[in-house]
Amino acid sequence: MIFIDPPYNTGSENWVYNDNVNSPMMREWLGKVVDKDDLTRHDKWLCMMLPRLKLLRELLSDDGAIFVSCDDNEHHHLRMLLDEVFGDSNFVANIVWHARKSVQNDTDISDAHNHIVVYAKMRRQRNRRLKEDNA
């Protein structure tokens, strides 16, 4: 099992793309702060995540799973990326959890939650059932 909690890319973290990469476009990003005014921040976030997720998939055992924490800013991008790396048939669950205890009274819809997206490396394997009648 692997759990990762990458930067949420809300524009307020001021994360820096800092990898050993060969792409000329990505080399321009190295050492520069990614903030909310950066119109390519989602692209940069995806480029930062893709090689890490591919590596983590290789490190997982065949019966392993990855749990990735995120918020609404990148949830849809993350799901598409994980579908690409792990395959959409290996999606297990989207766990929603209450992110903060303070109550917001300014809206009827709460955004005080985050997600943990779960994918298996090989979800539909043989011999993974506990009982034969569950097949």
Contact of 118 with 69, CB cutoff 8 Å: no
| Tens digits of residue pLDDT in 38-66 | 667 777 778 788 888 999 999 999 999 99
Could you count the other beta carbons within 10 Å of the beta carbon of residue 29?
20
Helix (H, G, I), strand (E, B), or coil: what is residue 36? Answer: coil
Instruction: Indicate the pTM of the whole model.
Output: 0.71
- Report helix, strand or coil for 45: helix
Contact indicator for 106, 44 with CB cutoff of 8 Å: no
Give the residue among 34, 44, 33, 112 at the shortest CA–CA distance from 77: 44
Mean pLDDT of the chain: 77
| Residue 78 pLDDT greater than 90, yes or no | yes
Q: From CA 8, how far away is CA 95, in angstroms rounded?
A: 16
Q: What is the pLDDT of residue 123?
A: 86
Q: What is the rounded CA–CA span in Å between residue 90 and residue 57?
A: 12
Amino acid (1-letter code) at residue 74: E
